Structure 1
């Protein structure tokens, strides 16, 4: 599923640039993705679209978040730490935090690896037509072992 999501991010600069579902499925299949991967990714994206375009009940800007066991299990310690980093840095508002958490819970398997979690966060911004600032993009894209330290 994550490979399909990364492919979509790399090849379509906005979600509305993607072809309709049937044509997109055929394109992804022609590229070599498996039908179950495609189905999971498109279902996940449909849920993301419903959240970002809908008027769901969202938290107040200064709310405090308490995680339930299912969320902690699905996140895992590394993704949870990175989520706290993004919220603390002001990159994720409480509303975006809830969108990210909803999409983490929508992943068929867990816990979500840190690299996969970063893809989910990136796709949330992508779905809104936004791009995080350069330093956050660096955190989302560059592996720690590839990072140059001055």
Structure 2
């Protein structure tokens, strides 16, 4: 796909996570788009396995709509609500708090993160890999 068309498509995907009054930016060269939605900055980054939603900032609070996309959190001290189905969530940042509606797999390499999930899209509980220290992953009370 042509880089500009791909960037525009990525921009539309990120825009779908944002409200009408939010800012959306796209970068055709880096095939990356960014949206400021509900108090949190989310980037849509193209990886080998498809587009990922990425939160890299510090101290933000807000809601991200996964809509079937994978999520990466590398920031610190964020409070994030992930709505919809998030097939794979990786957390390499520290001291983040995530409230997750639906997840299939979680990978933790950061420290002191708190993740609470409502539903697993992969059986009774999501698969969890934890290479960090002091992380807590638990099912939330409905």
Q: Report if TM-score (shorter chain) is over 0.5.
A: no
**Structure holding more strand per residue:** 2
TM-score by length of 2: 0.26
**Structure holding more helix per residue:** 1
Say which structure, 1 or 2, has more relative contact order (CA 8 Å, 6+ apart).
Answer: 1
TM-score by length of 1: 0.25
Structure 1 or 2, whichever has the larger Rg, is: 1
